Structure 1
Amino acid sequence: MLEVRGVSTTMISLNNLGIDNYFKYVYALLAGWLIWGVVRRFLFPHPFDKIPGPAKGSFISGNLFEVFGPNGLEFHHSLTKNYGKVVRTFGLLNERVLFIRDPKALQYIFLKDQDLYQQPNQILLYVDAFTLSGTQKLITHHANRSARKIFGPGLISTLGDQHKRQRKMLNPVFSIAHMKKMIPTFFAVTYDLRDVLLRKIADGPQEVEMVSWLTRVALEIISLCGMGKSFSPIAENQEEHRYISSMKLLGPVGRKLLLLNKYILPWIINYKIGTPRMHRLVADALPFPSLHKICEIIDVMHEESTHIYDSKKKALAAGGKADEEQKDILNILMRENLKASAENKLEDDEVIAQISTLMFGASDTTSSAFVRILWLLAKHQDVQAKLREEIRDAKRFDGEPDYEQLAALTYLDAVCRETLRICASFTTPIKGTNGKDIPEIHIPRGTVMQISIQETNQDPEIWGPDSGEWKPERWLSPLPDSVLNARIPGVYSHLMTFIGGSKACIGFKFAEMEIKVILYVLIELFQFDLPKKEIFWKFTGLVSPSVDLNELKPQLPVIVSRSADHFQKFYCRAIAYTCFVESLKTD
């Protein structure tokens, strides 16, 4: 019998494990815990009862489905409009949840006392118990640690010293110097999308569903720049890689396991009930298709991530010039990790975990932001025309713009910043790990706080009475004192879009430059118009468009055509350039 870190690879039947007794034990503890939780929350007063907020939407779910439902953004706005900057809402089983947009509170949460406020366990331990693959290969290669999560122990799934150590190792990897070397890849992938669109409109303007294409572009960019591997080439009738298919299903399937994710799994993991292998066997035995699917998704993601890591590790061990020339994030991270001291070095499973972490973090959120930009530009034709003019004026005959040249395009920068201000893609939950006073409000240990990124970014006391309007021009002048004095603890442009402090998005510059490159290529060549059909924006974890409120799949149909004056502008510039060259020859 082969033993790996105390985990046996021998096939174990449910009867040998005494599964009946295990179920009885778990059910008894779970029932007692739920009963006590219900009694305590409904019969005893809570410190937040005096904080204003809405009535419970449901006896069981509270306001949960209003906060996270398709119309969640409208509900968020009504909360801050009717009740202020700190609002009491209800979660499952009468749990009190604070909904916050107050800048002073955010400073405490994200900067001053950031170690006391962490992501909730249901975020970090999401299907933690079920990540053990059924194959002997994965068990022997990477036995499960007690804290294996859906992405593994990666940057978004770790806390405390482990998180700080990972961030210390990853910060240099996302430096401007490294990112400059990735910009040609940004352009190459965007050119593939450009060619697809040109073929689609060869016979005239066409309606094109852009969400799927922009998602593929974001995935392909992070695949190449992050792992040096192509997962989703930009071409029509291209079969989707199983890793990409699994990642796309992660959110929709995970949302069906809300109760399990929020209440049961954190409790099982925190109190170390059973082993990961036992959890997986129980999961396979339970009659829940969504739970089985999430286990399958995790297996695929972990297996593919492990395969990529093994290939990189072998290449590093072999050495050579070819390896040195690879500039992808994972390759750089692994090379730096080899040089790190023992106390700073990342373990194998930590490096593997960064793969899915990067893929998920850099694809959905970036494509969601760009989809919103495209919709706004199609809606505001004057802004689209002005942006096109700036891009055409900046065009060079000697190749693509570099990092500095893209950063110097002020209107392009303003369009990006304003969209990221007004169209934050998500909200983020934070949980207090220790009782702490935020001025005038005592936060009991274990309190869940929902940080409203969009409402913070659109606070009229900070951004003025037009804070809810999309106005790129506001970034072309010095920002008002109200913005500077608010001291928003965000890492990007006085906004909370990319969070702040130790929780800040490490790749925000990567995302910003990716958006700029896509706009630079597409807006110069194409005209984008909205179709006659109405576009709805739904909150489904991320903000996504749809033409049908009952349709789960995001859709943004846009009328795409060649820019009307593209050929004329290009012809005039070509003549001007030729005359300039001839004048130099004459001189």
Structure 2
Amino acid sequence: MTPLQQLLAGALALYAAWRVVRMLFSKSPVDNIPGPDSESYLTGNMNQFKQDRWGFQEQHVRTYGRLFKFHGLFNAPWLYTYDPRAMHSIYVKDQDVYEENDVILASFHTALGPGLLATVEKQHRRQRKILNPVFSAKHLRDVTPIFNDIINRLQVAISSRVKTGTQEIDVLGWMGRTALELIGQGGLGHSFDPLTHDVADEFAESVKAYFPVMHQLEVIRLVLPRVYQLGPAALRRKLLELIPFGPVQRMIKISDALHTTSLEIYHEKKAALEKGDEAMKQQVGEGKDIMSVLLRENMVASEEDRLTDEEVVAQVSTLVLAAMDTTSNALARIFSLLSEHPDVQEKLREELVQARDDGTGKLRDLNYDEVMELPYLDAVCRESLRRYPPVTHLMREVTKDAMLPLSEPITGRDGQPLHSIPVTKGMRIFTDVIASNCNKELWGEDADEWKPERWLKPLPRALEDAHIPGVYSHLMTFIGGARACIGFKFSQLEMKVVLASLLPAFKFEPTGKPIYWNAAGVAYPSASKGSRKPELPLNVTLLL
């Protein structure tokens, strides 16, 4: 180690020791909240949470209910909840009190720049104000033909691999490539993958590697907020380059690749925009993509609302990163479920074939309104996003002391009812998306079952009265409030166009191999519990 590296390691060790001592001798206002005992003064309950997140969620939600305490790093008291009123306070009513954690913000800012995932308060609101119009129904109608063209190429690519009979296909791999191309052309006006043949793309590989590598940096990320305060960007980068840890150096390369391509796309789009409408029509996406629309909106925005060049460039990687993993894994989950429920798959296929019939027996592409209004397709998508949300947990940090209200009182360790919970600055609160989406008190006793038909009849009155703060169908899948997923309608369109195109053409069946869904930042499938390789092998048969 160099002297500077030794200094950094020593500083990290001192910080960890200070946090442990602080937790040992301090009292917390949530000591009366029930929850599991801490397993370690250093890691609290986090090892159990990370090693078996599904088991942790199921066991403790069943044992403690809508809100409980558990212990985070350095034994810090954290809260875990899916109480509707508490979530409404966190994400809507008192959202300024419950902000993104500074570690997450610093991680996104360091790797991606000041994009939507890395900003808060006034800057975040200003960015959303500019970005909101580009996700309107009008613009989604414009990109639907682009989506149809991409999925038609995907259909040709898969057909060429199964034309001789049923073949095992990695559906997740194809959904990842497709999601990247959909956000590439529809979002950035840039093509990353022709789909009809394999090509190497450093940007695509960097996007795919981002979350797995970031997952390896959980300890290092704790000091990022402090590093971010140390002088100019050049100094901060030099400090990170000195850290002798492979994943740190890999993340630097990922960040460089994302920034380089983002900058190229930005300059390409800006140059075409300055040349006029005719030049935009020659671009991928014909100027209808989100980035082209964003640049036009930004040009006419008022001085106080206009985004800087740095902010616009940061949106490129941010949009791709936010859209690719979530959409591809959500689609993989739907295809997996349809393979396990052939009756649902066939019923959905019949609806799609009927809707796409052009009157001569041939299948046509559906426009935006047609694909969004198909009832059973909508039911399958909603139920899949309800029961199996790609992002299963959310975290917020308390910015100032407050009282967190509850829908109904819980019983404290002292046996007394608690109608609200005192929270203090710096405390972290986890909200459980799955537990909220599958709350039997609201959805009924069959809440844990995957039943698309539930969306074809009125939803339970208790659910409507609970006022879940999500922006989508009484679900927390796309969150709610000022940090709700800005592209959730874009994602829905992607999923529906993919299903509408592929299901009439192919039948999907299980291979017999066990499929395990890994609990990560975005849940992903692998062919065994011990494997970390993302894949979803399914048997695919050509029907057309």
What TM-score do the two structures reach when normalised by structure 2? 0.92
Task: Label 1:86 to 1:496 Cα distance change in 2 as closer, same or farther (>3 A).
Answer: same
Q: 2:310 aligns with which of 341, 349, 364?
A: 349
Q: Matched residues in 1 for 2:343 and 2:520: separation? A: 31
- Max Rg structure: 1
Equivalent residue letter for 2:26: F
CA distance in 2, matches of 1:560, 1:152: 41
**1:267 matches 2:249:** no
The answer (yes or no) to whether the contact 2:46–2:71 under 8 Å persists in 1 is: yes
Partners of 1:311 and 1:494 in 2: CA distance: 40
| Counterpart residue number, 1:277 | 234
Q: Partners in 1 of 2:472 and 2:478 — Cα distance? A: 7
| Cα deviation code 1:482-522 (max 9, x no counterpart) | 11011000000000000000011011011111111111111
Structure 2: distance between partners of 1:232 and 1:309? 19
Q: Please state whether the residue corresponding to 1:258 is helix, strand or coil.
A: coil
SS at 1:150 equivalent: helix
Q: How far apart, CA to CA, are the structure 2 residues paired with 1:36 and 1:323?
A: 57
Q: Find out whether 1:109 has 2:90 as its counterpart.
A: yes
Indicate yes or no: 2:49 matched with 1:56: no
**Pairing 1:508–2:488 present:** yes
Match among 293, 300, 308 for residue 257 of structure 2: 300
Indicate if the aligned counterparts of 1:182 and 1:327 stay in contact, CA closer than 8 A: yes
Find the counterpart in structure 2 of residue 438 from structure 1: 404
Contact 1:68 1:541 in 2 (8 A): no
Matches within 5 A, 1:307-386: 307-323=264-280, 325-386=286-347
Give the Cα separation in 1 of the matches to 2:328 and 2:431: 22
Residue type at the aligned position of 1:60: L
Residue 465 of structure 2: which of 478, 485, 490 is its match? Answer: 485
In 2, the alpha carbon distance for the partners of 1:449 and 1:206 equals 45
CA shift, 1:380, in A, is 0.5
Q: How far apart, in 2, do the equivalents of 1:415 and 1:197 lie?
A: 23
Partner of 2:248: 291
Q: Secondary structure of 1:441's match? A: strand
Task: Please state if 1:523 is matched with 2:493.
Answer: no
Q: Show the 5 A alignment for 1:28-177.
A: 30-69=12-51, 71-126=52-107, 148-177=109-138
Alignment of structure 1 residues 418-567 onto 2, 5 Å: 418-426=383-391, 427-439=393-405, 440-563=420-543
User: Aligned partner of 1:172: which letter?
Assistant: P
In structure 2, what is the Cα distance between the partners aligned to 1:546 and 1:29?
38
Q: Answer whether contact 1:60 1:94 (CA < 8 A) is retained.
A: yes
- Rounded to whole Å, the distance in 2 between the matches of 1:516 and 1:31 is 50
Distance in 1 (CA, whole Å) between partners of 2:454 and 2:255 is 44
Aligned counterpart, 1:245 = 205
Question: Could you list the per-position Cα deviations for residues 101-148 of structure 1 after superposition, in whole angstroms to 9, with x for gaps in the alignment?
Answer: 11000000111011111110111101x7xxxxxxxxxxxxxxxxxxx4
Contact 1:228 1:326 in 2 (8 A): yes
Q: Which residue of 1 aligns with 2:412?
A: none
Report whether the alignment pairs 1:412 with 2:377.
yes
Measured in 1, the distance between the counterparts of 2:368 and 2:289 equals 17
Deviation at 1:321, TM superposition (A): 2.0
Aligned to 1:330, what secondary structure does the other structure show?
helix
Superposition RMSD on alpha carbons, in Å? 1.8
Distance 1:539 1:320 in 2: 46
Structure 2 CA distance for partners of 1:219 and 1:350, relative to 1, 3 Å: same
Alignment: residue pair count: 521
Name the CA distance, whole Å, in 2 between partners of 1:342 and 1:418: 43
Which range is displaced more, 471-480 or 56-65?
Answer: 56-65
Matched residue type, 1:241 = D
Which residues of structure 1 form unaligned runs of 5+? 1-18, 129-147, 567-587
Q: d(CA) in 2 for partners of 1:165 and 1:296?
A: 30
Aligned to 1:400: 365
What is the DSSP-based 3-state SS (H/G/I as helix, E as strand, rest coil) of the residue aligned with 2:475?
coil
CA 1:34/1:534 → structure 2, altered by over 3 Å: closer, same or farther?
closer
Q: Displacement of 1:23 after TM fit?
A: 6.1
TM-score of the two chains, using structure 1 as the length reference? 0.86
- Cα distance in 1 between the residues matched to 2:265 and 2:39: 46
